[in-house]
């Protein structure tokens, strides 16, 4: 891995909302990048031998007491630096410039004009739309720096010292509203830092296989396979690396969507040839959940029983030393906001809190990857698109989408309605892209209807479809009305027990994505 990571970019985080996006953008360009809190130990950052540094934005003002400062080692570094927004101000302040509050704040779209040629702006239009978000501005340039671009409100929208290869930009090239942002980042990586494009799915797979073999030796590895993207790609990588010595346990808790349990067995055992133990625990879960309608109690009951069922199977695998987990980079990333917190281990709902007699060493081959990279690795490993592009699905599954007390009949009703909704979305091209999470929710509410001249009194179904990048906030998807009409008509005609369909038009906040 060192080889793959060496010569990449260190992103220094000053607390911006878009820090992770900077790292994702550089990786999309084929250059490895890692995020470090601004006060991370310099040795940790330098260990990766970065070819350059990108300083993120942040909410502070550099002249405020206690504001995060440029890590001092950077001033002595020979590697190029690109400061973005607060990062530029921190760089300018530390290099002898002056930063002041601006009379005109700039939030949102702006236009910058190139003022002089530089490798950073090479090939960019003279004028280009960018995204700004700042209240401070540079009042005096540091020695050696020149203005490279300006905007109506920022005479120093971009600055640079070409000889020391240090640059600052007031706008955010990582967001899509900055039209030429990708080109500018590409210029920084390849024309300023001299990076190589070596961070690819194929290179990652070769490297990960090697690392797994070194870690595991001749031993066997256990994996809890859920059918979700992270565990699926972890499984496929391990299977490539150690074949039969990977033992996957898949617990069917009866809360999965239509045909999902069958698909997991078919794909992983039959098509991929993996060593898969499928445990049918549907009855046990249904009886444990009987009469429970409180959402948290549903979660706890499922989580606890899952650990019990998984542990029982795991104990049968004597002498197993390793447990693989689908931990990904956002689970372990250290941000400026919590820079004192130790990196955490993902507490999967399904393997969290294993009993003391089951102690494993963890194998986490995707620890360095963002979700979109995990999907690309999955594709390169030959996993089917339905798995690789699967929308997130909560661990407790349909239990928290079947509101109120559960029964097999109600779950089957929900499964049938959900399958109609998702198949229509897929046909319209809105499942893989266009919506981030789309599903049906069965409400514990009956309403009056009229079907075939007869009065009916049946349950209500809600459709939920959201757009979001990070699942922390979300907006309801503006689905085409014709699509909603078709889905509604099909559900009331094809699914017994539902006579009314509603569409949830609430954003998060104030609502959550799930209903329970």
Q: Which SS3 state, helix, strand or coil, does residue 245 take?
A: helix
What minimum distance in Å lies between the beta carbon of 502 and ligand XMP? 18
By CB under 6 A, is residue 513 in contact with ligand XMP? yes
Residue 326 is a binding residue for ligand XMP (CB under 6 A)? no
H/E segment holding residue 44: helix 42-46
Report in angstroms how near the CB of residue 514 gets to ligand XMP at its nearest.
3
Q: Shortest distance, CB of residue 385 to ligand XMP, whole angstroms? A: 20
The answer to whether residue 85 is catalytic is yes
DSSP 96-121: T-EEEEEEEEEEEEEEEEE-S--GGG
Residues in 278-307 that interact with ligand XMP by CB under 6 A: 299
Q: Does 395 bind ligand XMP (CB under 6 A)?
A: yes
Give the integer Cα–Cα distance in Å for 233 and 240.
11
The binder of ligand XMP chosen from 16, 95, 437, 488 (CB under 6 A) = 437
**By C-alpha distance, which of 358, 322, 309 is closest to 246?**
322
User: HSE-up of 244 (CA within 13 Å, CB side)?
Assistant: 0
Q: Is 392 one of the binding residues for ligand XMP (CB under 6 A)? A: yes
Q: How far is the CB of 430 from ligand XMP (least distance, A)?
A: 17
Tell me the site size for ligand XMP, rule CB under 6 A: 12
The answer to whether residue 396 forms part of the interface with ligand XMP (CB under 6 A) is yes
Q: Which of 269, 349, 371, 486 binds ligand XMP (CB under 6 A)?
A: 349
Read off the DSSP letter of residue 187. Answer: I
With b for 16 or more beta-carbon neighbours within 10 A and e for fewer, the 59-98 pattern comes to ebebeeeebbebbeebeebebbbbbbbbbbbbbbbbbebe
Q: Distance between CA 13 and CA 80 in Å, rounded?
A: 16
Q: How far is the CB of 301 from ligand XMP (least distance, A)?
A: 12
Structure tokens given for 389? 């592009």
The terminus-to-terminus CA distance of the chain in angstroms comes to 41
**C-beta closer to ligand XMP: residue 107 or 471:** 471
**Is 371 an interacting residue with respect to ligand XMP (CB under 6 A)?**
no
Q: Is 349 a known active-site residue?
A: no
Contact region with ligand XMP (CB under 6 A), list: 59-67, 273-281, 363-371, 505-513: 505-513
**Contact pick of 250, 328, 394, 458 for ligand XMP (by CB under 6 A):** 394
| Cα separations in angstroms, 183 against 15, 35, 187, 473 | 24, 21, 6, 28
Quote the least distance from Cβ 383 to ligand XMP, whole Å: 20
Interaction between residue 504 and ligand XMP (CB under 6 A)? no
SS3 for 209-277 is: HHHHHHHHCCCCEEEECCCCHHHHHHHHHHHHHHHHHEEEEEEECCCCCCCHHHHHHHHHHHHCCCEEE
Instruction: Select 186 or 234, whichever has its Cβ closest to ligand XMP.
Output: 234
Is 57 or 396 the residue whose CB approaches ligand XMP more closely? 396
- Name which of 111 and 507 has its Cβ closer to ligand XMP: 507
Q: Give me the residue label for tokens 């950052």.
A: 45
260 carries an active-site annotation: no
| 38, 114, 115, 174: the active-site residue | 174
Q: How far apart are CA 124 and CA 169, in angstroms?
A: 14
Contact residues toward ligand XMP (CB under 6 A) are 299, 349, 392, 394-396, 437, 471, 508, 512-514
Residues with active-site annotation = 85, 172, 174
């Amino acid at each position: 891995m060192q080889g793959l990571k060496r010569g990449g970019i260190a992103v220094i985080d000053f607390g911006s909302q878009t820090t992770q996006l900077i790292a994702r953008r550089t990786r999309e360009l084929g250059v490895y990048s890692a995020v470090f809190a601004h006060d991370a130990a310099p040795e940790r950052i330098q260990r990766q031998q970065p070819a350059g540094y990108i300083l993120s934005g942040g909410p502070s003002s550099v002249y405020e007491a206690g504001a995060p400062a440029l890590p001092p080692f950077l001033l002595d570094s020979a590697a190029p630096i690109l400061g973005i927004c607060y990062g530029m101000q921190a760089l300018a302040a530390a290099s002898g410039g002056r930063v002041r509050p601006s009379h005109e704040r700039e939030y949102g779209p702006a236009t910058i004009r190139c003022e002089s040629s530089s490798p950073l702006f090479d090939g960019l239009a003279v004028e280009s739309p960018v995204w700004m978000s700042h209240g401070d501005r540079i009042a005096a340039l540091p020695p050696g720096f020149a203005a490279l671009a300006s905007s109506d409100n920022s005479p120093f929208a971009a600055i640079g010292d070409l000889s020391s290869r240090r640059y600052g930009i007031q706008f955010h090239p990582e967001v899509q509203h900055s039209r030429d942002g990708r080109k500018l980042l590409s210029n920084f990586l390849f024309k300023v830092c001299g990076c190589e494009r070596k961070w690819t799915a194929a290179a990652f797979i070769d490297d990960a296989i090697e690392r797994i073999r070194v870690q595991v030796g001749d031993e066997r590895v256990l994996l809890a396979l859920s059918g979700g993207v992270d565990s699926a790609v972890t499984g496929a990588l391990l299977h490539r690396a150690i074949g039969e010595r990977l033992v996957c346990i898949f617990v069917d808790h009866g809360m999965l969507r239509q045909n999902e349990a069958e698909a997991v067995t078919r794909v992983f055992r039959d098509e991929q040839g993996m060593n898969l133990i499928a445990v049918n625990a549907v009855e046990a879960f249904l009886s444990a959940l009987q009469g429970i309608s409180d959402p948290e109690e549903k979660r706890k009951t499922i989580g606890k029983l899952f650990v019990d069922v998984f542990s029982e199977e795991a104990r049968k695998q004597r002498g197993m030393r390793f447990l693989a987990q689908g931990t990904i980079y956002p689970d372990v990333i250290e941000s400026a906001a919590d820079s004192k917190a130790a990196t955490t281990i993902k507490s999967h709902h399904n393997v969290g809190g294993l009993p003391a007699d089951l102690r494993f060493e963890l194998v986490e081959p995707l620890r360095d990857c963002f979700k979109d990279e995990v999907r690309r690795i999955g594709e390169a490993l030959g996993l089917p698109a339905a798995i690789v592009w699967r929308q997130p699905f909560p661990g407790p599954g349909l239990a928290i989408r079947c509101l109120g007390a559960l029964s097999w009949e109600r779950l089957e009703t929900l499964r049938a309605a959900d399958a109609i909704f998702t198949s229509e979305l897929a046909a319209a091209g809105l499942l893989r892209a266009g919506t981030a999470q789309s599903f049906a929710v069965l409400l514990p509410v009956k309403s009056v209807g009229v079907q075939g001249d007869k009065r009916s009194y049946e349950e209500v179904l809600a459709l939920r479809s959201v757009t979001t990048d990070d699942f922390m906030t979300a907006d309801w998807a503006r689905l085409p009305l014709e699509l909603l009409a078709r889905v509604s008509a099909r559900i009331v005609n094809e699914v017994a027990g539902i006579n009314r369909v509603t569409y949830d038009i609430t954003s998060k906040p104030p609502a959550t994505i799930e209903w329970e």
